[in-house]
Amino acid sequence: MPELPEVETVRRGLAPVLEGRRIAHVTQRRPDLRFPLPPRFAARLTGRRISRLDRRAKYILARIEPQGAAGEEVLIMHLGMSGRFTIHGPEGKRLPGLFHHGMPGAKRHDHIVFDMEDGTRIVYADHRRFGFMDLVAATDLETCAHLAGLGPEPLGNEFAAAILSERLKGRRAPVKAALLDQRTVAGLGNIYVCEALWRAGISPNRSVRDYAHTDGELGYFQHAFAVYDRDGEACSKPGCGGTVKRIVQSGRSTFYCSRCQR
């Protein structure tokens, strides 16, 4: 699943063709994705201008300017397991975001099409339909079901070791499960938690109460992993000499080195 760094990459790829641009037409080819699309989804977006494109955790947030009786709204977009955007413009076709697991892009999975006023076409495809889109009033954004209760952004200025320590206090879950909890830190997923624990030298099996300090870097891209999807390969940490192992925790694959992660 695309995680925070990849979602941010997609946001940055979409921003030049969406921010400050008006939506001329929306084509909705099915009534639902993971969930039913909002009532009058296409009609509510057609003719509206997008003022800004933000991201919160794994959500892309398109802020829609007020128009007529309609106040400011936010289009919330989640890529799920296989959602992707394709930009069709004068310079040719572009795919904002490259992910570790390939995603088929057959046209029969092109579910939502945004035709912009300048002629650019943005197509959302999702062959598994685990992604979704929703429209909420801007005033309700922070309290809506999607965003309410999310933890701090790991790349935000407010995030620090003391904040993480406070949010982990009293937890008895394995450290990996605690970090995957979006209430602890927003946007982390299976891949980057594996990578962060390897960099910090912490075993994913340890309970939160077993350690007092972590030191890891989050936010690199899905093509240079140290442990994820490298079962049976030699650990790349200098001087370690261990082997990457795969175990299953809560139905998800965990990759780690049992020699240097304690």
Closest CA to 53 of 21, 87, 84, 5: 21
pLDDT for residue 172: 85
Q: Is 58 a catalytic residue?
A: yes
Q: Hey, is 219 helix, strand or coil?
A: coil
**Exactly one of 22, 171, 252, 259 is catalytic; which is it?**
252
pLDDT at residue 212 tops 50 = no
pLDDT at residue 93 tops 70 = yes
**Exactly one of 2, 96, 152, 154 is catalytic; which is it?**
2
Average pLDDT over the chain, rounded to whole?
88
pLDDT for residue 215: 31
* Domain extents in the chain: 4-143, 161-257
**Please, what CATH class does the domain formed by 161-257 belong to?**
mainly alpha
Q: Is 245 a catalytic residue?
A: no
Each residue's pLDDT tens digit, 66-78? 998 889 999 999 9
**Exactly one of 11, 48, 58, 84 is catalytic; which is it?**
58
pLDDT at residue 94 tops 60 = yes
Domain boundaries 4-143, corresponding CATH code:
3.20.190.10
**Exactly one of 3, 6, 73, 195 is catalytic; which is it?**
3
Terminal CA-to-CA distance of the chain, rounded, Å? Answer: 27
Q: In what order do the strands lie in the sheet with 84-89?
A: 23-28, 110-116, 121-125, 84-89, 92-94
CA distance 253 to 262: 18
Q: Is 252 a catalytic residue?
A: yes
What are the tokens at 178?
A: 């605690």
| The Cα angle at residue 81 between residues 79 and 83, in degrees rounded to 5 | 40
% of the chain surpassing 90 pLDDT: 70
Each residue's pLDDT tens digit, 218-251? 333 455 789 999 999 999 999 999 999 999 998 8
Per the CB < 8 A criterion, the answer to whether 82 and 130 are in contact is yes
